[in-house]
Amino acid sequence: MEIVKSKNGVFIRLTVERWLHIVETHDDLAGYYDDVLGGVEDPDYIIKGYQEAIIALKEIKRKKFLAIVYKELSIKDGFIITAYFTSKLKLEQEVILWKKE
């Protein structure tokens, strides 16, 4: 299990079980373990997800993002739910919670 700190200062866990789920569901993410963790620590955008989830976005190529979905359970604890690549994102339609300057 790895732990990184979100932009809100919350420790976010990536468990072995979650990582296996991610690469089984999104096999194109195999080899992107460090990028998933780094995307939570140093995203380009953070947007609002569903049911209190947060989505950290790291631009991989122009208009292609690595999206990392996670929850902050308290001011000290959270966990990664899933991650995936997307190029269908329309940032102007999302609720942007944070943006890298």
- Give Cα 93 to chain centroid, integer Å: 18
Mean of the per-residue pLDDT values of the chain? 96
Place 63 in a pLDDT band, splitting at 50, 70 and 90. confident
In a domain, 94, yes or no: no
Residue 100 within a domain = no
Write the pLDDT tens digit of every residue in 66-98.
Answer: 999 999 999 999 999 999 999 998 999 999 999
Q: Is residue 43 part of a domain?
A: yes
Residue 101 belongs to some domain of the structure:
no
Domain count for the chain, please give it.
1
pLDDT of 11 higher than 90: yes
Query: Residue 15's domain spans which residues?
Result: 2-89
With respect to residue 79, please indicate whether it lies within any of the assigned structural domains.
yes
